[in-house]
């Protein structure tokens, strides 16, 4: 069942981090291969010809692309270890809804925060916080979005924490001040080895963003 | 147990029509509530406070929003006529191409209405590249789902809509000559009664074309 497992990834990608966490949670060994996105490997282009993007999970030579699809695939294949997706259909629908929400909002708004200035940035910050607050509402009093253990929504969201410091520095605001419950949840997640080992250091991500800004000519 | 299924939808929304097709494929009786997107019902706002959009499926008073989330929920709750394959890899493939349609093809089609001249030609080229991806997926199959209509066929119904509206506007966006498998698939699904029931009625097609040109971002609003 395990077979050969390779993850084509890029260290600061929150999408790649999702699959890293899922595999780590289930204790599944795999080969991690770092891609240089300015010089993509033949393997990446061959395994993801449609989008040419990371992450790509290659299982016994067959590629699975798109992080949310990878996490679901990992959960379905290795279903007996640390299940991430709820078993009840309605709870699954709720979890999928929030993962879809995260995908539609968090990355794009976060990108606007570090890429833009002035009014556009201010609007992005405001909406970003509103989205986090909606997620706080969904979390409620639970330890994790998944309840007592890490679930699909936790895995989908927590990678963005590695970018929070960069967002805060670029946007000159404090996420913890606005969303303390969110940060408390993050800290609980970071206690888990699967999460702590899958997320890069926030300062490193910030340095990376600063380099990108130079490359794109953003002040 | 008494099952109560309601669908808040909108006649012009391909996302809403998708869910209707899914309901009919599983022969699930439901109550349909047509939403006026400029005057949304309090129920819709209560059932989908985050996005305030259609479609929303309400099953025994529990709401499910987002068309693909709804379709997977339906597949897991009503096990007849399954949409998704059982094999995890095949499921991943079906989900991948469905996401491709929603994340790539639909936005490119939406962009088309806003372009003219050279930009329009380039956008049509882009659509053809995206069509090729789907054409390749049909190789050796009757339907995207294999022998039977499935998850990806439901999402791909947008191709049928485009084909129909193309006949009206005279503007062929879908190249059926370049992509014969897609054309054959369109003809095949259009022979199905349930598919026809979920197509935009003939008398409303002109209205749909105008609507699509005016509000391209997403017909589900």
CATH class belonging to B88-214: mainly alpha
State pLDDT tens for residues B9-54. 999 899 999 999 999 999 999 999 999 999 999 999 999 999 999 9
Q: Cβ–Cβ of A64/B96 closer than 8 Å? A: yes
Question: Of A9, A10, A67, which Cα lies nearest the Cα of A212?
Answer: A10
Tell me how far CA of residue A8 lies from CA of A47, A91, B62, in angstroms. Answer: 10, 31, 39
Q: Residue B218: pLDDT above 60?
A: no
Q: Which CATH architecture has domain A89-216?
A: Up-down Bundle (1.20)
Q: How confident is the model at residue B134 (pLDDT cuts 50, 70, 90)?
A: very high
Q: How confident is the model at residue B216 (pLDDT cuts 50, 70, 90)?
A: very low
Q: Which CATH architecture has domain B5-77?
A: 3-Layer(aba) Sandwich (3.40)
| DSSP structure class, residue A41 | -
Asked if the C-beta of B79 comes within 8 angstroms of chain A's C-beta atoms, the answer is no
Q: What is the largest CA-CA distance in chain B?
A: 59
Q: Compute φ and ψ for A78, nearest 5 degrees.
A: -105, 60
Q: Cβ–Cβ of B50/A73 closer than 8 Å? A: no
> What homologous superfamily does CATH list for A5-77?
Glutaredoxin (3.40.30.10)
As annotated, the residues of chain A forming the CATH 1.20.1050.10 domain(s) are 89-216
How many CB atoms are closer than 10 A to CB A187? Answer: 11
Nearest CA-CA distance, residue B71 and chain A, Å: 9
B-chain CB neighbours of A76 within 8 Å are: 88, 91
Picking from B64, B88, B99, the nearest residue to A66 by CB comes out as B99
Nearest CA-CA distance, residue A203 and chain B, Å: 32
Q: Cβ–Cβ of B95/A69 closer than 8 Å? A: yes
The structure's pTM equals 0.94
Altogether, the residues listed in chain B come to a count of 221
Asked if the C-beta of B32 comes within 8 angstroms of chain A's C-beta atoms, the answer is no
User: How much is the average pLDDT of A41-58?
Assistant: 97
Cβ-count burial A135-147 (b if 16+ within 10 Å, e if not): bbebbeeeebbbe
Strand partners, B9: B34
Q: Residue B171: pLDDT above 80?
A: no
As annotated, the residues of chain A forming the CATH 3.40.30.10 domain(s) are 5-77
User: How much is the average pLDDT of B172-198?
Assistant: 92
Q: What burial class does residue A3 get, using C-beta atoms within 10 Å of its C-beta: 0-12 exposed, 13-18 middle, 19+ buried?
A: exposed
Nearest CA-CA distance, residue A69 and chain B, Å: 6
Question: Of A25, A60, A55, A67, which Cα lies nearest the Cα of A193?
Answer: A25
- Strands B31-34 and A31-34, sheet pairing: unpaired
């Amino acid at each position: 069942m395990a077979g050969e497992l390779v993850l084509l990834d890029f260290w600061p990608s929150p999408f790649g981090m999702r699959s890293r966490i899922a595999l780590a949670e289930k204790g599944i060994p795999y080969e991690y291969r770092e891609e240089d996105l300015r010089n993509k490997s033949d393997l990446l282009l061959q395994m993801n010809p449609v989008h040419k993007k990371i992450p790509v999970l290659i299982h016994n030579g067959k590629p699975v692309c798109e992080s949310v699809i990878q996490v679901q695939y990992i959960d379905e294949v290795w279903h007996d270890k640390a299940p991430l997706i709820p078993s009840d259909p309605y709870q699954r629908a709720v979890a999928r809804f929030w993962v879809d929400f995260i995908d539609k909002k968090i990355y794009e708004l976060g990108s606007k925060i570090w890429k833009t200035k002035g009014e556009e940035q201010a609007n992005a910050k405001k909406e970003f916080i509103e989205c986090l607050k909606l997620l706080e509402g969904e979390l409620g009093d639970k330890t994790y979005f998944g309840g007592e253990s890490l679930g699909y929504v936790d895995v989908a969201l927590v990678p963005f924490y590695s970018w929070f410091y960069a967002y805060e520095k670029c946007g000159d605001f404090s996420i913890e001040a606005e969303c303390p419950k969110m940060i408390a949840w993050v800290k609980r997640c970071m206690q888990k080895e699967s999460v702590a080992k899958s997320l890069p250091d926030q300062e490193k991500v910030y340095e990376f963003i600063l380099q990108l800004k130079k490359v794109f000519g953003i002040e | 147990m008494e099952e109560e299924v309601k669908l808040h939808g909108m006649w012009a929304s391909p996302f809403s029509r998708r869910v209707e097709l899914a309901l009919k494929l599983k022969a699930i009786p439901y109550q349909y509530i047509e939403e006026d997107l400029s005057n949304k019902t309090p129920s819709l706002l209560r059932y989908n406070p985050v996005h305030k959009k259609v479609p929303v499926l309400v099953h025994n008073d529990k709401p499910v929003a987002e068309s693909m989330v709804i379709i997977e929920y339906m597949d897991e709750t009503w096990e007849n006529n399954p949409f998704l394959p059982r094999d995890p890899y095949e499921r991943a493939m079906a989900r991948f191409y469905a996401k491709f349609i929603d994340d790539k093809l639909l936005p490119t089609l939406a962009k088309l209405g806003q372009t003219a001249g050279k930009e329009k030609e380039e956008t049509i080229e882009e659509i053809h590249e995206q069509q090729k991806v789907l054409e390749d997926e049909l190789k050796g199959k009757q339907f995207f789902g294999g022998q039977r209509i499935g998850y990806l066929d439901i999402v791909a119904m947008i191709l049928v809509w485009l084909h129909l509206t193309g006949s009206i506007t005279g503007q062929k966006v879908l190249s059926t000559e370049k992509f014969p498998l897609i054309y054959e698939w369109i003809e095949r699904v259009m022979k199905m009664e349930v598919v026809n029931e979920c197509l935009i009625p003939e008398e409303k097609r002109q209205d749909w074309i105008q609507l699509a040109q005016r509000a391209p971002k997403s017909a589900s609003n």
